[in-house]
Structure 1
C-alpha cells in the first residue's frame, strides 16, 4: 500500500494548492468525491474490502481515481464514518499533518427503541492546523468554522448554540465555498440529533477524554442500545463504551436558572 498511499497523498497535496484549500480539506474533499456510502454494509464492496480493512485494495482504488491514472477498472470505495477517519489519518500522516479520530454521541436521537431513545455515535477526524484542531468529517464532507477560525471537536461540544458554528466544504471542481447547516443533509443527521454535545477524543498520550455538555443534553436520560438491553443513563453508556479504561471525563453542568 505504501506506494499507492504516497501517490494519493501527493495528489491531495496538489489539490490543496490548486483549490487554495488546506491539506486536510483537500484530502477530505478527495475522499468524499471518489467514494460511496454502502447501501448494505453486509454485502458488496463494503463486506469484501472495507469491513476487513483491506487498505491495500481501498487505497489502490482511490489511486485509480487520480486523473493522471484514469484507470477504467476503477471502483469507488464504500466507506462508513470511521473508515473515512482512518483514511484521513493515513493520508495526512504522509503529508506531515497530525490527525486523530473523534467519536461523537447523539443526545437527541431521532431513532428510538420502544419508549427509549437509541444510543447512536458517529466518528470524524480532527486535523492539527498549526495553532488548533479542525474537525474534518469525511462521511458528510464538511469542516467547521467558529468566529472565522477552524472549529475543533471541543468547540462543537462547548458551543452554547450551534448557530455560532458554520459548516462548509469546497467540492472538487468548484472555486466557491458552500456553507450552512443544510449542506449535505447534516442539519437533520447531525445538528438536530446533536451529535456534538458529547464527544470522546484522545489526548496526546493516547488516553480517552470524554466531554459532555449538560447545557445541551440530559445525560441522566435513559437510553437503550438494543431491544434486549436495560435502559441506562446516557452518561453511563458513554463512559462504559470507551475502549480504554478509566477515561478522563469533563462535564459541563447545566446553567442555574435564577428564581
Structure 2
C-alpha cells in the first residue's frame, strides 16, 4: 500500500506543477504517516514540515513531531500560533490558564464538556447549543484555520502543495474543521479508515510513542477523539465499514449503531463535500 500511495503523491505533485510538499505535523499518527509517505514519494529535500503548537497543545506531541522530522531528515519549523490567537482575542473567550497545572485545566474542560451539552459531538456537527458551548466551538476551530493559513503561506513561498492528513473515518463522521484542516491540495489517506491508518503506520515504522497515544485533535486539553465519538475507533470503523458495505449490523451494539447513523446523517448535512484531489483505489 505504501508504494501506491507514495506513487499517488509523486504523480499529483508533478501533474499540478508543484515542486514539493508542505505538511502540518502534529505528533499524531495521521500526519506521521503522511509525512513519511511524502518523503518516500518526493525525497526529504522536497518536503517541509510545519509544527504549529499553541497554549493548549500537548508538549509531548510537539516533542514527538520534532523527533519524527529529525528521524526522517526533513526540514521543519516550529512556530507557536499563541501570539496570533491572543491578538485575535481567542483566549479571552475562557478564563486564563495562568499557572494552573495540566490536571486542573483538564478537569475544568471536562466539567464544561459534560455540563454545556447532552451530546457535545452532535451539537458540534449541528453548530448548535448554548452560547457558552458555541464559544467553545469558536475557540478550537480558529486554531485549525490559523494553521491552514500558515501552511499555505509556507507552501506558496516554495511552490509546494499542501498535503492533508484527513482519514476516511474523520471525513465520514465530520471530524474536521471547515476551511481548516480540510482545506488542502492533496489528500493521500482519505480512503483509509483510522484503524487502517494505524496498520499503515506500522508498515512505515512510525515510532511506537506516536502509535500508543490516544488519538486527539490536541485543541482542547483532555478531549480525545474516542471520547467525542462515544466508542473506540475499532468499534466505530467496524460499524462504518458494515454500513458502507450494507452488511448485517445485528452483531453490533444497537445504541452505538444508532449513534453512528446519526453522526453520518449530521456530517453529511452540515459538512460540505471536499473539492480536493484524493487517492482512488
Which has the bigger relative contact order, CA under 8 A and spacing at least 6? 2
TM-score, structure 2 as length reference: 0.30
Q: Compare the two structures and name the one with the higher strand fraction.
A: 1
TM-score, structure 1 as length reference: 0.31
